[in-house]
Amino acid sequence: AQRVTQPEKLLSVFKGAPVELKCNYSYSGSPELFWYVQYSRQRLQLLLRHISRESIKGFTADLNKGETSFHLKKPFAQEEDSAMYYCALRWRAGNNRKLIWGLGTSLAVNP
Amino acid sequence: EAQVTQNPRYLITVTGKKLTVTCSQNMNHEYMSWYRQDPGLGLRQIYYSMNVEVTDKGDVPEGYKVSRKEKRNFPLILESPSPNQTSLYFCASSLLPGQPQHFGDGTRLSIL
């Protein structure tokens, strides 16, 4: 069955430290993966997707098919990065496509 | 401005009193979806709609109904709300299923 696992519920780092939010997926087909971010009291918004291979707000994420992972990384965390981060997998269900979500990781960046 | 609009933003009501949370998008998106967000449980999909008059159950559809009579609107209906439906609800839309979604601001429901 398709699954997205974010093993850390809460991640706390100091400002300027590197941060890695883990995401592992389970899917036998060709996956499409996304990271969404939700800042306090704001709506969920797309942060980045693996097919665009871009860096947004200093974050990057590389799809590792061998390890079935799509970890989100930033070399130097900032206080404004404190938010809830969700990893999502797009997969094909018959003729349809679906999105499934990880449970989220709350990132706290301390001064 | 492209947006997904939910109403109301907050609602406190009592068990059994029917309520509807509206969702409207102005992007001509085919796909719309309702989620609930609960602490420790993340986002769980309630219902989704691939197109007008096409709706399907998500992961937690019990106690909810939806309708998609027109492309822009996707209301969530709680016929007989119960306290376990107290949650934060998000509506989302995308041009096609599985594409990056635009989310509304959320509706916080409290069922007493």
- pLDDT tens-digit profile of B78-87? 999 999 999 9
Number of residues in chain A: 111
Whether chain A has a CB inside 8 Å of the CB on B43: the answer is: yes
Say what the pLDDT of residue B112 is. 94
* Whole-number average pLDDT of chain A: 89
The answer to whether B43 contacts A9, with C-beta atoms less than 8 Å apart, is: no
The answer to whether A91 contacts B98, with C-beta atoms less than 8 Å apart, is: yes
Q: Would you place residue B98 in the very low, low, confident or very high pLDDT band (cuts 50, 70, 90)?
A: low
Whether chain A has a CB inside 8 Å of the CB on B58: the answer is: no
- pLDDT tens-digit profile of A14-23? 999 999 999 9
Q: Which amino acid is at B18?
A: K
Whether chain A has a CB inside 8 Å of the CB on B100: the answer is: yes
- pLDDT tens-digit profile of B9-68? 999 999 999 999 999 999 999 889 999 999 888 889 999 997 888 888 888 999 999 999
Closest-approach residue (CA) in chain A for B38: A103
Say what the pLDDT of residue B56 is. 85
Does A102 have pLDDT greater than 80? yes
Q: Would you place residue A54 in the very low, low, confident or very high pLDDT band (cuts 50, 70, 90)?
A: confident
Say what the pLDDT of residue A29 is. 85
The answer to whether A96 contacts B90, with C-beta atoms less than 8 Å apart, is: no
Q: b/e map of B1-37 (b: 16 or more CB within 10 Å)?
A: eeebebeeeeeeeeeeeebebbbbbeeebbbbbbbbb
Q: Cβ(B23)–Cβ(B107) under 8 Å?
A: no
The answer to whether B106 contacts A86, with C-beta atoms less than 8 Å apart, is: no
Q: Give B99 or A34, the one with higher predicted confidence.
A: A34
The answer to whether B90 contacts A43, with C-beta atoms less than 8 Å apart, is: yes
**Which are the contacts of A73, defined by CB distance < 8 A and separation ≥ 6?**
A18, A19, A20, A21, A59, A60, A61
Whether chain A has a CB inside 8 Å of the CB on B103: the answer is: yes
Q: Give A56 or B93, the one with higher predicted confidence.
A: B93
Dihedral pair phi/psi, residue A52, rounded to 5°: -90, -20
- pLDDT tens-digit profile of A55-79? 788 999 988 989 999 999 999 999 9
Q: Cβ(B53)–Cβ(B68) under 8 Å?
A: yes
Q: Would you place residue B95 in the very low, low, confident or very high pLDDT band (cuts 50, 70, 90)?
A: confident
Q: Would you place residue A85 in the very low, low, confident or very high pLDDT band (cuts 50, 70, 90)?
A: very high
